């Protein structure tokens, strides 16, 4: 049997090795389901892996050499954030590492001289501003229910967290749309509207650097869906079903909604965080301190 003090390291190593595989498969399923929703056959399941392998066969074209550093930092900090999460670390530290990795992506986009890249970087910053309060509220909500910020404690708690935090869960699903770069909010990369911003933040990254950004997205997918797991951690079967349903809803939203302006994104993300999130926390606080002290 593995000694208990080694378990966090094993989880971290497993995440670093397996998350790109799982994340790539999720991206492949995503493209296949999207194609079916649009009445197309769609690419093979392994297409995201072919894409990244191809990008590594291409020439690494950069505008300034610092772009290489920023993109590598984005990938490394994304992997660190996920590894901290899966090794049962502090939720707040995970969120800090997660935000830092996105700041590196923004800096990388600002390092080039293209106006499209700059607009993409500005929109990426706005997206960070939009989703950050809700992500913090998620961590605070989990603390109020389980009395711990540590993922290791939250995941082993037998409390059905979703029943205490339904508002926070809905709010998290809405910012998940921003984080997964899905349609109403795919402002910074212009994921679907290819020609509109050229390609937003990723405009000036080509070849292996773009490949690194894709792999970082795969790490991100697994981490974000891991947070969904926490809400249902008391029952793994329900957790897996919840993740599948949540991701399917994200794809459905992606294919049925037009893109919004950044003002509406910021407003809706903050109003949701302010109402659903704070009201949920307020009710929880009231029940804990007044009704059942």
Minimum gap (Å) between residue 75 Cβ and another protein: 18
CA 130 from centroid of its chain's CA atoms: 13
| Cα–Cα nearest to 156, from 84, 241, 226, 230 | 230
Minimum gap (Å) between residue 41 Cβ and another protein: 5
Give whichever of 198 and 278 is closer to another protein, judged by the CB atom. Answer: 198
Minimum gap (Å) between residue 35 Cβ and another protein: 7
Positions that interact with another protein (CB under 8 A): 31, 35, 38-44, 47, 50-51, 53-54, 57-61, 194-196, 198-199, 202-207, 210
Give whichever of 3 and 39 is closer to another protein, judged by the CB atom. Answer: 39
Give whichever of 211 and 226 is closer to another protein, judged by the CB atom. Answer: 211
CA 152 from centroid of its chain's CA atoms: 20
Minimum gap (Å) between residue 203 Cβ and another protein: 6
Give whichever of 179 and 199 is closer to another protein, judged by the CB atom. Answer: 199
CA angle 241, 242, 244 (to 5 degrees): 65
Minimum gap (Å) between residue 109 Cβ and another protein: 13
Q: What are the structure tokens assigned to 185, written together?
A: 């909010």
How many angstroms separate the CA atoms of 269 and 214, rounded? 25
Report yes or no: 140 and 278 within 8 Å, Cβ to Cβ. Answer: no
Give whichever of 72 and 278 is closer to another protein, judged by the CB atom. Answer: 72
């Amino acid at each position: 049997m593995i000694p208990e003090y080694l378990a966090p390291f094993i989880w971290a190593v497993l995440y670093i090795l397996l998350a790109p595989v799982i994340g790539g498969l999720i991206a492949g399923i995503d493209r296949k389901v999207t194609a079916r929703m649009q009445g197309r056959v769609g690419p093979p399941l392994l297409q995201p892996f072919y894409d990244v392998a191809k990008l590594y066969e291409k020439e690494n074209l950069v505008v300034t050499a610092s772009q290489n550093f920023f993109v590598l930092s984005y990938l490394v900090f994304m992997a660190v954030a996920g590894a901290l999460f899966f090794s049962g670390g502090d939720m707040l530290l995970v969120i800090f590492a997660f935000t830092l990795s996105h700041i590196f992506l923004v800096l990388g986009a600002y390092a080039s001289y293209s106006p499209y890249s700059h607009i993409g970087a500005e929109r990426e910053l706005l997206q960070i501003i939009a989703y950050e309060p809700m992500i913090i509220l998620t961590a605070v909500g989990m603390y109020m229910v389980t009395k711990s910020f540590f993922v290791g404690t939250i995941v082993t708690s037998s409390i059905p967290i979703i029943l205490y935090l339904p508002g926070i869960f809905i709010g998290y699903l809405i910012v998940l749309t921003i984080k997964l770069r899905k349609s109403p909010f795919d402002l910074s990369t212009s994921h679907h509207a290819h020609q509109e911003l050229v390609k937003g933040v990723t405009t000036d990254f080509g070849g292996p650097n773009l490949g690194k950004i894709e792999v970082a997205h795969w790490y991100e997918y697994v981490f974000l869906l891991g947070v969904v797991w926490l809400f249902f951690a008391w029952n793994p079967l329900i957790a897996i079903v919840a993740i599948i349903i949540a991701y399917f809803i994200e794809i459905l939203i992606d294919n049925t909604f037009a893109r919004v302006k950044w003002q509406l994104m910021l407003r809706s993300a903050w109003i949701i965080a302010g109402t659903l999130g704070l009201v949920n926390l307020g009710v929880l606080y009231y029940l804990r301190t007044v009704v059942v002290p």
